[in-house]
Amino acid sequence: MNRSPLSQTLLDRLLTYVAVDTMSDPHIIDKRPTTDGQLELLQMLQHELNEMGLDDITFDPNGYLIARIPANAPKGSNIPTIGFMAHVDVADDVMGNGVKPRVIDSYDGKDITLNAEYGILVTDNPELSKYIGETLVVTDGTTLLGGDDKAGVAILMSLAERLVKSDSMVHGEVELIFTSDEETGGGMDAFDVSLLRSRCCYTVDGNKQGEVEAECFNAATVEVDFMGIPYHLGAARGRMVNSVSMAVSFIASLPRNESPEATDGRYGYYCAEEIEGTSAHTHLTIYVRDFELDGLNRRIGTLESLATTTEKLFPGGSVKVSHKIVYQNMYEAIKKDPKIMDAIWAAADKLGLKLEEKIIRGGTDGARLAQMGIPAPNLFTGSHNLHSRFEWVALPAMERSALLVEQIVAFWAGAVS
């Protein structure tokens, strides 16, 4: 199949990067990055960037890589430094290591068989109809693919190559930031924002073609510990307090109509994500999400009140609640500088590309970066069915994302208006 040079390099890079085992581990809290494969990929990217001729590169063993593409504009042009960000880890919702991608050339518009058990159905994936005759990348049905966010990594590495090899486009300094452990929510915990010079940053970590995201959840992780009183079961009456029963009662009291499976749009939720324990001690992790910070705090307060109620229902038992704000709604930072979004719309107009602004029922490293003072909206990558064995990436959408990123660079240099 004939492909443009950009399309071919995007495909080659995606296939190379997804083959590196970079699944992060949310259960590890004392190591960054949480898995060694992430460092392997970061070091691979550093080597590629060095081979392109870039030498202003910072590698942080905590799991970060920052590379600067020098400006080629005349001195005194006063073009701000602009950043672009992608993360190298993949989620653990299904197995994220041992990925075996498959390229589908000239997609025929039919259901896609992944293996004897699983397939991607057209009825569940209406976007497939837009790519008949085009190139798709899918899994073999045993793992996720890793387009989230290795499609973004491939896009940014291809951007670097194009800017370095050609002086046909005048541009200012461009910072590329590659992070790790984004999927754990702790990927930016050790990031030194003082290393950056960017006025703003664009994360390339989105979904289907045309989606642009400037608003995300406020997110908190709530840890709940239930302490019971264990006793021999044969003599437990009036003495035993079962912490497992306490946790079950607590979870059953969460409003079912405010769960992830019952909400969409701008509605927040409580999600009992993980539970482990015995009659003596049970630990529960709850994810709390809300688009309004006041709403997030209200939800945390609800869980604290529920803990008190649970203690009254189970005399002698105790409940301890702690929480951590994982990220905040990035729109609060973005709205202070309208030019950041203007650059996206102007770049899309230049390409004749239709965009749609969406909200993220989740978050990105850009949300954490926005809290650190650098606004960071999110751009599409052409990935679909993220975090699942049914994941697929549309190569034409990846190419359009790469071109959009390139035109955003041109906008900040004054070449697009």
Phi, psi (rounded to 5 degrees) for 66: -120, 125
Separation in Å, CA 177 to CA 156, 295, 332: 9, 32, 22
CB 89 within 8 A of CB 95: no
Annotated active-site residue in 21, 173, 182, 406: 182
Separation in Å, CA 327 to CA 121, 150, 217, 221, 331: 34, 22, 8, 10, 12
182 is catalytic: yes
By C-alpha distance, which of 159, 209, 48, 140 is closest to 389?
A: 140
Query: Checking DSSP bridges between strand 356-360 and strand 211-216, what pairing results, if any?
Result: parallel
Separation in Å, CA 233 to CA 228, 238, 318, 404, 415: 14, 11, 20, 65, 76
Annotated active-site residue in 21, 89, 183, 399: 89
CB 304 within 8 A of CB 222: no
CA distance 408 to 54: 21
What type of residue is 88?
Answer: V
89 is catalytic: yes
CA distance 121 to 2: 27
Q: E strands of 75-180, at which residues?
A: 82-87, 102-104, 112-113, 119-120, 136-138, 174-179
Give the active site residues: 89, 182
